[in-house]
Chains A and B, each alone.
Chain A
Amino acid sequence: MLPGVVTAILLAPYQNPPGTRLVTTLDGPESPDHDLFGCFRGCPRIPRLFTLRVQVCRSAPQIMDAKKIKSAVADVTAEPDPTLKSAKLASLCSALWAERGVELVVVGGSAIEILTEGVYASGDLDMCYTNKATLPARKRQEVMGLLGAKGGPRNWQVAGMYLDLLGPAESFARTPFRRVDGPYGTFLVMKPEDLLVERVLVSFCPQPNLAARECAMSLIAAVLTGGIAVNWGEVRRVANLPEFRNLAECEKLVKEVADELKIQSPLHSD
């Protein structure tokens, strides 16, 4: 059975509105999709090990042709603003990887920079996969080769900066990844709920870390003043998880920033 036929069978129960498309990913113990489809052929019980994720995306898939890619790479390369450059590269890479069924998300300092403009990030863009499915090394090299990238197979020099692909995204918040409709396609940004709790943790553990503290404060300020929407209930829940256990520190820092901005903290302890 061909992979496309398997996909059609799996998607049969799903209806998407006109003008949209379904993006599917298979989450399983082993990654590349073509191997998963191989498993489907051989053993009908195997699919139970996998989760089929189906997302409805707004537009039809747009395959970027060589001319479009060349012009996009030239645009990213010429971009002098580091945050714009990161965002444009994230948009371009996300589009190319999405065409091949893999969804990427901007993480770490690059994500915080895109959310806050906090003059924090360095000259590299960190991205992760949103699930365990990724492309095999050869395919990764070929995709990044379309952009004239050097190096690999997990980090590349491309368009005058570095792109690091760090593996599956680590996220605990139940809110969606944030979405920016970039110039070459929508790209995802790590959830600010996760970023906030994680950055507060790094600000005091294992050692006090001033850069992480200022970074957390700038993120909190951008949130408290309405630049970014967050679910404070999720911030509280994530900070209470055994993975973090830093709710008290989060509350304290949010209050400190709120006091500085002369507004009420939404994360008070009572």
Chain B
Amino acid sequence: MNSRSKVPCIPIEGSISWEDWLKGRRFRREMSKRVAPGVIRRKSSSKDRRLKRLFKGERGLPFTPTDKL
């Protein structure tokens, strides 16, 4: 697979535009999930109390499914 030419890359020098960063989200998620499937958000941390209070018992907002990115 060679999607490199189509997908905007976060460069070393210069900046990536907001539009390009948004455009690359799905690709980056898909590539990440090929080696680390599932939600890998930590189950707990020292900040749990405040996080769970704010996010109704969760540690953050639910992630957007890959097909919706």
Contacts and interface: CB of A to CB of B under 8 A. Distances in A.
Contacts of A211: 40-43
A206 to B, nearest CB: 16
B16 A117 contact: no
Interface of B: 1, 3-4, 7, 9-18, 21, 24-29, 31-36, 38-43, 45, 47, 50-51, 54-55, 58-64, 69
A261 B29 contact: no
B22 to A, nearest CB: 8
Nearest to B4: A226
B35 A229 contact: no
Interface string A44-80: 0000000000000000000000000000000000001
Given A122-B42, A123-B51, A211-B40, A229 B32 contact: no
A183 B61 CA distance: 21
Nearest to B14: A179
B35 A227 contact: no
Contact of A123 (B25, B26, B59): B59
22 contacts: A82-B62, A83-B63, A85-B61, A118-B36, A119-B38, A120-B41, A162-B50, A180-B16, A181-B15, A181-B16, A182-B18, A211-B42, A214-B35, A217-B35, A220-B35, A221-B35, A224-B31, A227-B24, A228-B9, A228-B28, A229-B9, A230-B12
A145 B4 CA distance: 42
A124 interface: yes
A228 B4 CA distance: 10
Contacts of A246: none
A260 B13 contact: no
A141 interface: no
Interface in A170-223: 175-176, 178-183, 186, 189, 211, 214-215, 217-222
A228 B28 CA distance: 9
A230 B36 CA distance: 20
Residue of A82, A122, A124 contacting most chain B CB atoms (<10 Å):
A122
Given A80-B61, A123-B60, A215-B40, A227 B54 contact: no
Contacts of B51: 122-124, 162
A211 B49 CA distance: 20
A104 interface: no
A226 B9 contact: yes
Nearest to A227: B28
Contacts of B34: 221, 260-261
A157 B45 CA distance: 17
A236 B64 CA distance: 34
Contacts of B13: 176
Given A82-B60, A227-B31, A122 B7 contact: no
